[in-house]
Structure 1
Amino acid sequence: MRQDATGRTVTAHEPRETPWLSVVLGYGPMLPFLAGAAAAWTFSGDLARGAATLTVLWACAILLFLSGVRRGVSFRTEGGPTALQIGTMMVLFCLGFAALVAAYLGRETGALGLLIVGFATIAVLDPIAARRGEAPLFFARLRPLQIPLALAALLALLTLRLSAG
């Protein structure tokens, strides 16, 4: 690292392999998605509804967090943040917040739809961003395996919700 009166220059080496901490912190938060969807399908009544609601709220929190990850990564992008990084962050944040509002208003089906769009966006755009140098290289390997877990759980909840009428 070099520092002078106008700023500092940071040189970093990014691994292509997913660091172990990113494996733990990447896949660990997917477990409540899967557990919540399984509980919603397994149980009935208030327990099933509670599991579904908690899973939706968890998904909102994770999507909002991932929008912040996108912004945080943009601070270290060579040449500064790109319009695509900022735009993606804003889209993810708006989808997460709108899903949270929908859940609060009792519009769980709408919340699930917004969350599915948000997580699908991450699954598609993060590997592209990694190849363009706008996200860590390992996102190209992590996201296509990590995010489908969330999507499967959200789709399972949406299917359950639609079948219940």
Structure 2
Amino acid sequence: MRQDATGRTVTAHEPRETPWLSVVLGYGPMLPILAGAAAAWALPGEAGRLAGTLAILWANAILLFLSGVRRGVSFRTEGGPTAMQIGTMMLLFSLGFAALAALQFGRETGAIALLVLGFGAVAVLDPIAAARGEAPLFFARLRPLQIPIGLAGLLGLLTLKLSGGS
């Protein structure tokens, strides 16, 4: 790192391999979505509904967090934030916030659909961003394996809602 009166220059090395901490903090948060969906299917009545709602809330938190990750990465992008980084951050945040609002207004199916769109966007856009230097290189390998775990849980919840279950 070099610092002068106008700012500082940071030189960083990004691994292509996913760092161990990113494996734990990447895959771990997807598991409650999958577990919540399984519990929503397996548990009767109110317990199943509660498990489904908690899984939806957790997925909301994760999607909003991922929008913040995108913004945070943009602070360290060579040449400054790109329009794609800011646009993606705003898309993810908007989908997460809209899903939270939908859940608040009793539109669980709509909330889940918005989350599916958001998680799908992450799975598609993060590898592209990694290739363009707008996200860490390892996102190209992590996201296509990580995000489908959450998507599986969300699609399980969506299927349950559409079939008239909890």
Tell whether the structures are fold-level matches, with TM greater than 0.5. Answer: yes
Alpha-carbon shift at residue 43 of structure 1 (Å)? 1.1
| Residue 136 of structure 2 is aligned to residue 120 of structure 1 | no
Deviations 1:123-152 (A, max 9, x none): 000000001000000000000000000111
Q: 1-side partners of 2:139 and 2:69: how far apart?
A: 12
Q: 2-side partners of 1:134 and 1:142: how far apart?
A: 15
Alpha-carbon shift at residue 74 of structure 1 (Å)? 0.2
Runs of 5+ consecutive residues of structure 2 not aligned to the other structure: none
RMSD: 0.7
Percent identical: 80
Matches within 5 A, 1:33-72: 33-72=33-72
Number of the residue aligned with 1:159: 159
Matches within 5 A, 1:21-32: 21-32=21-32
Q: 2-side partners of 1:79 and 1:33: how far apart?
A: 36
Q: 2-side partners of 1:63 and 1:92: how far apart?
A: 7
| Residue 130 of structure 2 is aligned to residue 144 of structure 1 | no
Alpha-carbon shift at residue 62 of structure 1 (Å)? 0.4
Deviations 1:68-99 (A, max 9, x none): 00000000001100000000000000000010
Q: Which runs of 4+ in 1 moved over 3 A?
A: none
SS in 1 for 2:136: coil
Deviations 1:36-70 (A, max 9, x none): 01101111200110000000000000000000000
Q: 2-side partners of 1:11 and 1:98: how far apart?
A: 38
Letter in 2 for 1:79: G
Alpha-carbon shift at residue 100 of structure 1 (Å)? 0.5
TM-score (norm 1): 0.99
Runs of 5+ consecutive residues of structure 1 not aligned to the other structure: none
Alpha-carbon shift at residue 113 of structure 1 (Å)? 0.6
Q: How many residues are aligned here?
A: 165
Q: 1-side partners of 2:61 and 2:30: how far apart?
A: 12
